[in-house]
Structure 1
Amino acid sequence: MPRRVRLNKQSVIPDSRVQRENRQAVQKITAFLWFDDQAEEAAKFYTSIFKNSKIGRILRYGEEAAKVSESGRPVGSVLTIEFELEGQKFVALNGGPQFKFNESVSFVVNCKTQEEVDYLWDKLTADSGQESQCGWLKDKFGVSWQVTPTVLIDMLHDKDAEKSERVMKAMLQMKKIDIKTLNDAYAGK
């Protein structure tokens, strides 16, 4: 007999063995990214960059979804694709051209070393990505990222206001963040 799952005081639904076996741990908050028709390409691009990453489940357009969607995507094409980067789950949607990414939302990547900053900066700006100020960039899909050395955050929050102000001034002159320059500013060099 299937186990019953209580949703609230009024409703109870059966929980089949198959549902229990196929259930994945649900992340409380998941970034859901709307692409025109590049969701699968984007998921493959991101998982090729981050070492601890993987592609998850893929949902394809069925007849009904293809009929009502304004995306123009054909039956059988990717509707959504789940992927994971460094333990953070994402979902990418092929939803059509109605919405575009902008800088009002960005993903921050905390980096421990200059080598990590350089690697991620080069990979994320490849193929027509755009550099911006203070460690910000847009990748080739228009998604905004902040490639941030963790030492920068520590320096900016230093109790010594003069040190943190020198670091801020140095950072404001940069596109890709340079840790040595930050350290020099912090030390007053």
Structure 2
Amino acid sequence: MTPKNTICIWYDKDAEAAAEFYAATFPDSEVTGVYKAPGDYPSGKKGDVLTVLFTVCGIPCLGLNGGPMFTHTEAMSFQIATDDQAETDRYWNAIVGNGGKESACGWCKDKWGISWQITPRALTDALAAGGAEAERAFAAMMEMTKIDVAAIEAARRG
């Protein structure tokens, strides 16, 4: 049964490859359907993969191979909560190491241009604490690309 709400992500032509990468990288993720176009369309031909149903950490998504006319921005991102540095490193390195790009403050982009926030729970807990703890953790985060859990915890302690 199709979920009532699904995130639709526009790809140029690589929705299936992206979905397979996400399924191999993140837990509770899988490709659940690959559907071919029943006829020609502006950026493809009959028989080309048109849509791909998949989940990322349990979130239902639909990849649409719509062509090059729309590109991705940081206005939409996946935020993945991590429990420790090893998990943070694993996801960060998978995305960046597969043709992606590092950004700032725990953000990176995969090779398809989708933005990801790889966010340790230590950071969100520090920010939620408020006050001086949050200020110190925030200042430390602002200097980082990939989040360093030990540095965030040290900043939180002062």
TM-score range, shorter chain: over 0.9
The residue aligned with 2:32 is 56
Which is greater in Rg? 1
Structure 1 position 153, deviation (Å): 1.0
Is 2:102 aligned against 1:131? yes
SS of residue paired to 2:16: helix
- The alignment of Structure 1 onto Structure 2 pairs a total of residues equal to 158
The residue aligned with 2:135 is 165
The residue aligned with 2:61 is 90
2:96 is matched by which residue type in structure 1?
A: T
1:9-24 matches, cutoff 5 A: 24=1
Question: What is the identity percentage for the equivalent residue pairs of Structure 1 and Structure 2?
Answer: 38
TM-score normalized by structure 1?
0.80
Query: How has the CA–CA distance of structure 1 residues 85 and 60 changed in structure 2, closer, same or farther, with 3 Å as cutoff?
Result: same
Contact 1:126 1:140 (8 Å CA) reproduced: no
Is 2:42 aligned against 1:70? yes
The Cα offsets for residues 119-139 of structure 1, whole Å up to 9 and x where unpaired, read as 000001123211011000011
The Cα offsets for residues 129-159 of structure 1, whole Å up to 9 and x where unpaired, read as 1101100001100000000011211111214
Structure 1 position 113, deviation (Å): 1.1
**Inter-partner Cα distance in structure 1 for 2:121 and 2:10:** 29
The residue aligned with 2:154 is 184
Is 2:11 aligned against 1:41? no
2:155 is matched by which residue type in structure 1?
A: A
TM-score normalized by structure 2?
0.95
Structure 1 position 55, deviation (Å): 1.0
CA RMSD of aligned residues (A): 1.1
**Inter-partner Cα distance in structure 2 for 1:28 and 1:76:** 27
**Inter-partner Cα distance in structure 1 for 2:4 and 2:146:** 32
